[in-house]
């Protein structure tokens, strides 16, 4: 029987905007000891991966977990030393970096961690970032996806600069490297000109695992062609099934084995001994909430500043957003279906950044995951705890054992690399 995959998606103070105010929430996104605790807990729970969000801007009203934080690649290199099996995924922009630099950082993390690196390819969801990178404006959606596609192609080419085992260190023959197994990429594309070779050996995984979260048409096309994990945002079982089926079909069309693409929607569990207990926790978080930050989360997801709309009126009809289309579409559909007010949608989105909430007992949460997994709506889930460390400890201590008992999740690691955990093949070096 196939089993689900689990990742924990970490925002330091928790995904709920008011998480940091809870009495038992400690630390923030810069607190290494907290992040080490979360990584160890995830590994104790036999998770496939720990996954860090990122953005290249900040400001006075952003989500507290996003205001200040450690940079993901340096952070994961540190966490590689205090863990042994869990996959280590970093979000990194293909818009505001150079392919040579980023390919190197991920290759280095893959070497340091013994084959546990993954790259969540984003094109930059916050247009403010442009102003930190000597640019006048954030490139338009289509251009960001076109250049990101080329960026990933270049990164893969650079990872293949050296064939496996090209560094022979043959002391007797006096040959350090077999340079006939070194390859010059010589990429000349629309956006990038990169000669290569990269100055690091082929990563242990061949290529770090590629994650992608785009839900727009361009995002789906990119995911279908490159993503090995799709970080999806889905609220509705049937929509999630259709989304996964569509992506698998697109992947097949582009010549890929769809089983080598794991669709993992985000889900935020709030767990209590009883359902009422869980609901009370959520109510407390909503009560503690800073309304401005909460509305900003929703505004970003719907692509428009919502501060002038009446909170107790209906969710307004908005023009289609070119940012975070997945969130915009699923949240708007949910609001329509459930006839939600703007306030209700704000409170929902504030809990898990617009992802699916599961509020209840450990059994109810396990049921909610099993239902989607068995129905073919998901290959696994990115767990987005509302606060750290408590909400995640609860999940690992109380939900994971149920999933294991039901045979839905591994009871121990059987391999060492993230590709092993996910059942993904190691990309062969290209034949030349």
Rounded alpha-carbon distances, angstroms, from residue 110 to 73, 201, 343:
11, 10, 44
| Binding-site residues | 54, 91, 141, 145, 216
Counting contacts by CB under 8 A, is residue 162 touching a second copy? yes
Indicate the residue among 75 and 222 with the shorter CB distance to a second copy.
75
Closer residue to a second copy (CB): 111 or 426: 111
Q: Residue 282 Cβ, how far from a second copy at the closest point, in Å?
A: 18
Q: Are 76 and 113 in contact (CB under 8 A)?
A: yes
Report d(CA 285, CA 323) in Å as an integer: 27
Per the CB < 8 A criterion, the answer to whether 362 and 274 are in contact is no
Alpha helices in 263-386 (DSSP H): 275-288, 291-302, 325-338, 342-352, 362-374
Residue 305 contacts a second copy per CB under 8 A: no
Which token pair is 134? 């000597």
Task: Examine residue 389 and say whether the peptide bond preceding it is cis (omega within 30 degrees of 0).
Answer: yes
Measured from the CB of residue 51, what is the shortest distance to a second copy in angstroms?
17
47-86: contacts with a second copy (CB under 8 A)? 55-60, 64, 66-71, 73-75, 77-78, 80-82
Contacting range for a second copy; rule: CB under 8 A; set: 194-202, 240-248, 371-379, 398-406: 194-202
Site for a second copy in 388-417 (CB under 8 A): none
Shortest Å, Cβ 127 to a second copy:
12
Q: Could you tell me the smallest distance in angstroms from the CB atom of residue 389 to a second copy?
A: 15
Q: Which two tokens stand for residue 83?
A: 């863990």
Size of the site for a second copy (CB under 8 A): 68
CA distances from 226 to 61, 88, 125, 257, 258 (A): 34, 18, 19, 11, 11
Residues annotated in the binding site for FMN, as ranges?
54, 91, 141, 145, 216
Closest alpha carbon to 86 in 125, 60, 52: 52
309 binding a second copy? (CB under 8 A): no
Query: 81 or 337, CB closer to a second copy?
Result: 81
Question: Interacting stretch for a second copy, rule CB under 8 A, among 24-32, 249-257, 335-343, 355-363?
Answer: 24-32
Reduced to 3 states (helix: H, G, I; strand: E, B; else coil), residue 205 is coil
Interface pattern 93-132 for a second copy (x via CB under 8 A): ---xxx-xx--xx-xxx-xx---------------x--xx
Report helix, strand or coil for 377: coil
- Residue 25 CB, shortest distance to a second copy, in Å, is 9
Distance separating the N- and C-terminal Cα atoms of the chain: 38
CB atoms within 10 A of CB 176: 11
β-sheet bridge partners, residue 341: 314
3-class SS of residue 66: helix
Interface ranges with a second copy (CB under 8 A): 13, 20-21, 23, 28, 30, 32, 55-60, 64, 66-71, 73-75, 77-78, 80-82, 96-98, 100-101, 104-105, 107-109, 111-112, 128, 131-135, 162, 167, 169, 171, 174, 176-177, 179, 182, 191-201, 288, 290
């Amino acid at each position: 029987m196939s089993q689900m995959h689990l990742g924990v998606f970490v925002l330091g103070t928790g995904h709920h905007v008011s998480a940091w105010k809870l009495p038992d929430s400690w630390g923030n996104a810069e607190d290494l000891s907290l992040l080490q605790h979360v990584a160890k807990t995830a590994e104790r729970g036999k998770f496939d991966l720990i996954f860090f969000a990122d953005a290249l801007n900040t400001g006075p009203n952003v989500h507290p977990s996003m205001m200040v934080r450690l940079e993901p690649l340096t952070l994961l290199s540190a966490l590689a030393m205090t863990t042994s099996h869990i996959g280590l995924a970093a979000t990194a922009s293909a818009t505001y970096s150079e392919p040579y630099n980023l390919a190197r950082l991920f290759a280095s993390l893959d070497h340091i961690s013994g084959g546990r690196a993954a790259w969540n390819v984003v094109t930059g969801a916050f247009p403010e970032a442009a102003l930190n990178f000597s640019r006048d404006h954030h490139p338009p959606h289509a251009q960001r996806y076109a250049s990101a596609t080329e960026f990933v192609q270049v990164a893969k080419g650079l990872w293949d600069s050296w064939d496996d085992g090209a560094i022979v260190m043959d002391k007797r023959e006096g040959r350090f490297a077999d340079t006939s197994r070194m390859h010059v990429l010589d990429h000349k594309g629309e956006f990038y000109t990169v000669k290569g070779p990269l100055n690091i050996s082929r990563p242990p995984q061949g290529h770090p695992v590629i994650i992608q979260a785009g839900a727009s048409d361009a995002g789906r096309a990119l995911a279908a062609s490159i993503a090995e994990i799709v970080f999806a945002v889905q609220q509705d079982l049937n929509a999630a099934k259709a989304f996964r089926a569509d992506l698998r079909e697109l992947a097949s069309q582009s010549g890929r084995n769809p089983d080598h693409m794991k669709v993992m929607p985000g889900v935020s569990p709030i767990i209590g001994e009883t359902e009422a207990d869980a609901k009370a926790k959520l109510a407390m978080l909503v009560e503690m909430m800073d309304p401005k930050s909460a509305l900003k989360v929703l505004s970003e997801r719907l692509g428009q500043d919502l501060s002038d709309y009446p909170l107790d009126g209906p969710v307004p009809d908005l023009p289609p957003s070119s940012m975070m289309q997945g969130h915009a579409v699923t949240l708007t559909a949910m609001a329509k279906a459930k006839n939600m007010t703007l306030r209700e949608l704000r409170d929902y989105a504030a809990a898990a950044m617009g992802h699916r909430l599961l509020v209840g007992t450990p059994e109810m949460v396990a049921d909610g995951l099993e239902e989607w997994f068995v129905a073919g709506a998901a290959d696994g889930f990115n767990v987005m705890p509302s606060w750290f460390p408590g909400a995640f400890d609860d999940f690992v201590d109380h939900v994971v054992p149920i999933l294991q008992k039901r045979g839905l999740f591994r009871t121990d690691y059987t391999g060492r690399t993230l590709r092993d955990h996910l059942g993904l093949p190691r990309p062969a070096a290209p034949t030349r």
